[in-house]
């Protein structure tokens, strides 16, 4: 909803830069309220949990698509000749593709990199903890 309002303001009225922070904050607050009020067992709760687990990776991956879209549409003569309706449609498609692809790549990153790194770090910390725990126990016996 907020993306649609931002598109309308940006394409037809030309005020997207001035109002974008307000719509981003409003959209985020609305999403938080919807997720917090939903049961964790329902579809919205599961979706919110999945997005929460992957939120940082989604944040990182979305930049790839945002900058790619900026590169592809830097010469917007095609969009300008067909009017603002096509621009709003293209904006919606770019937002949808960015969301879906960012989530998909975040899951792939989680599977291929993050889980392995977490297991490695957990094992390393357990070994370090056991080493320090042994030294503390030895000192306690000597004292």
Chain segment 48-83, per-residue pLDDT in tens: 777 778 888 888 888 888 888 888 877 767 666 777
Chain segment 18-32, per-residue pLDDT in tens: 666 676 677 777 766
Chain segment 90-137, per-residue pLDDT in tens: 878 888 898 899 989 999 998 888 888 888 988 888 888 777 665 655
Task: Output the pLDDT for position 101.
Answer: 92
Chain segment 38-50, per-residue pLDDT in tens: 555 677 777 777 7
CA dihedral (67, 73, 74, 76) in degrees, to 10, reads -160
Angle at 120 between CA 114 and CA 124, to 5 degrees: 140
């Amino acid at each position: 909803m907020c993306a649609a309002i931002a598109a309308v303001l940006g394409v037809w009225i030309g005020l997207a830069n001035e109002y974008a922070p307000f719509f981003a904050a409003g959209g985020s607050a609305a999403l938080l309220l919807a997720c917090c009020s939903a049961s964790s067992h329902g579809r919205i709760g599961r979706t919110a949990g999945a997005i929460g687990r992957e939120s940082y990776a989604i944040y990182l991956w979305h930049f790839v698509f945002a900058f790619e879209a900026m590169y592809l549409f830097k010469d917007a003569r095609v969009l300008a000749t067909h009017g603002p309706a096509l621009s709003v449609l293209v904006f919606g498609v770019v937002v949808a593709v960015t969301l879906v692809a960012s989530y998909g790549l975040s899951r792939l990153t989680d599977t291929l990199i993050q889980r392995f790194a977490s297991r490695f770090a957990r094992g390393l910390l357990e070994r370090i903890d056991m080493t320090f725990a042994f030294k503390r126990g030895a000192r306690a016996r000597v004292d």
